[in-house]
């Protein structure tokens, strides 16, 4: 289990390494989910730092897994984007999955946009829909705040009653319409993966109120809330979840839909950065 002082020392070391390379203070963080990597092309005056060069960042176990932090400006607003995230299913402990969010926190980031690809459970959804998250259900069987509380970073028992900031969600709906996007709103259930859910699990999740299912996001959102950040979550429905349609799931379908929607998704996130920052 991590000891508080040890963790804070690591975090300071990482922060020092990064601030030597950048000449701006990012205001907003963006976690880019599957198929949204193209967003970094909109970032100007970029400084990109590969994860493997950043002290104390998790070491990638997956071959060919490229990931980097990209600092720069989007329509004049200073941001940091994570191109590639660490998933719980890859075997990282929750504290490592969420380490980049802590780094953002100590760099002064006060708002976080978290994106992902997800399976649609709500039968009104269609693959390709964008969904603003209004809440989540943590079914991962773990919590990134388990263990000694990092009392310099946030409270022991953080409130999640507005884990996805209400004002930001309302603004996001307005901004979406302005750019011709009509997102759904829904509740995201996080499973540990990496297997997709069984049809019975999806029936269970539907019964308990989930509209979407995925394998990410919730750890990062919990830590961001602990750290006092405002959060906006957006899912791209890349497929209908298991058993909703009489067809099988494939990673290929997930990637195809994510690619098909990428331009629209990127446009939306760009407008959000401008409108929310």
Instruction: Verify whether residue 239 is a known catalytic residue.
Output: yes
Place of tokens 């730092």: 49
Instruction: Verify whether residue 63 is a known catalytic residue.
Output: no
Task: Report the distance separating Cα 176 and Cα 269, nearest Å.
Answer: 9
Q: Is 271 annotated as a binding residue?
A: no
215/221 with CB nearer ligand HPA: 215
Instruction: Verify whether residue 229 is a known catalytic residue.
Output: no
Q: Is 197 annotated as a binding residue?
A: yes
Three-state SS string over 128-192 comes to CCEEEEEEEEECCCCCCCCCCCCCCCCCCCCCCCCCCCHHHHHHHHHHHHHCCCCCEEEEEEECC
Given a contact cutoff of 8 angstroms between Cβ atoms, the answer to whether 190 and 208 are in contact is no
| Site residues (vs ligand HPA, CB under 6 A) | 117-119, 196-197, 213-215, 238-239, 241, 249, 254
Nearest CA among 103, 140, 118, 138 for reference residue 35: 118
135/201 with CB nearer ligand HPA: 201
Task: Report the distance separating Cα 147 and Cα 65, nearest Å.
Answer: 29
118/272 with CB nearer ligand HPA: 118
Q: Which helix (H) or strand (E) holds 264?
A: helix 251-276
Instruction: Verify whether residue 92 is a known catalytic residue.
Output: no
Catalytic residue among 56, 116, 216, 225: 216
Instruction: Verify whether residue 34 is a known catalytic residue.
Output: yes
Catalytic residue among 117, 176, 240, 258: 117
Minimum CB distance to ligand HPA, residue 166 (Å): 26
Instruction: Verify whether residue 89 is a known catalytic residue.
Output: yes
DSSP, residue by residue, 180-215: T---EEEEEEE---SSPPPHHHHHHHHHTT-SEEES
Q: Is 258 annotated as a binding residue?
A: no
Minimum CB distance to ligand HPA, residue 251 (Å): 8
Minimum CB distance to ligand HPA, residue 87 (Å): 10
Instruction: Verify whether residue 136 is a known catalytic residue.
Output: no
Calculate the dihedral angle through the C-alpha atoms of 115, 117, 123, 127, rounding to the nearest 10 degrees: 110
At a CB cut-off of 8 Å and minimum separation 6, what does 34 contact? 116, 117, 236, 238, 254, 255, 258
Minimum CB distance to ligand HPA, residue 120 (Å): 8
Centroid of chain to Cα 10: 22
Q: Is 216 annotated as a binding residue?
A: yes
Minimum CB distance to ligand HPA, residue 89 (Å): 9
Catalytic residue among 8, 60, 87, 110: 87
Instruction: List phi, psi (to 5°) of 236.
Output: -105, 120
Catalytic residue among 28, 140, 210, 215: 215
Catalytic residue among 90, 185, 256, 262: 90
Task: Report the distance separating Cα 205 and Cα 235, nearest Å.
Answer: 17
Instruction: Verify whether residue 216 is a known catalytic residue.
Output: yes
Instruction: Verify whether residue 56 is a known catalytic residue.
Output: no
121/172 with CB nearer ligand HPA: 121
238/270 with CB nearer ligand HPA: 238
Residues labelled as active-site residues:
34, 65, 87, 89-90, 117, 215-216, 239, 251
Binding site per annotation, positions for phosphate: 34, 65, 85-87, 117, 216
Binding site per annotation, positions: 34, 65, 85-87, 117, 197, 216, 239
């Amino acid at each position: 289990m991590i000891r508080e002082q040890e963790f804070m020392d690591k975090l300071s070391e990482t922060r020092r390494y990064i601030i030597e390379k950048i000449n701006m203070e990012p205001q907003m963080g963006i976690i880019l989910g599957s198929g949204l990597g193209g967003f970094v092309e909109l970032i100007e005056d970029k400084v990109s730092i590969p994860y493997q060069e950043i002290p104390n960042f998790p070491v990638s176990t997956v071959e060919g897994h490229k990931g980097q932090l990209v600092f720069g400006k989007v329509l004049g607003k200073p941001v940091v984007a994570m191109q590639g995230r660490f998933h719980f299913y890859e075997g990282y402990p929750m504290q490592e999955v969420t380490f980049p969010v802590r780094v953002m926190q100590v760099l002064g980031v006060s708002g976080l946009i978290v994106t992902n690809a997800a399976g649609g459970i709500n039968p009104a959804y269609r693959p390709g829909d964008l969904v603003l998250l209004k809440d989540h259900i943590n079914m991962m069987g773990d919590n990134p705040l388990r263990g000694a509380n990092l009392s310099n970073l946030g409270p022991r028992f953080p409130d999640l009653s507005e884990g996805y900031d209400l004002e930001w969600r309302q603004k996001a709906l307005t901004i979406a319409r302005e750019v011709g996007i009509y997102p759904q709103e829904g509740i995201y259930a996080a499973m540990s993966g990496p297997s997709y859910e069984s049809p019975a699990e999806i029936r269970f999740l539907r019964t308990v109120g989930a509209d979407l299912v995925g394998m990410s996001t919730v750890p990062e959102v919990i830590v961001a809330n602990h750290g006092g950040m405002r959060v906006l979550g957006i899912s791209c429905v890349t497929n209908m979840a298991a058993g909703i349609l009489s067809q099988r799931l494939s990673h290929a379908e997930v990637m195809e839909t994510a690619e098909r929607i990428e331009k629209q998704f990127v446009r939306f996130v760009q407008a959000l950065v401008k409108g929310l920052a």
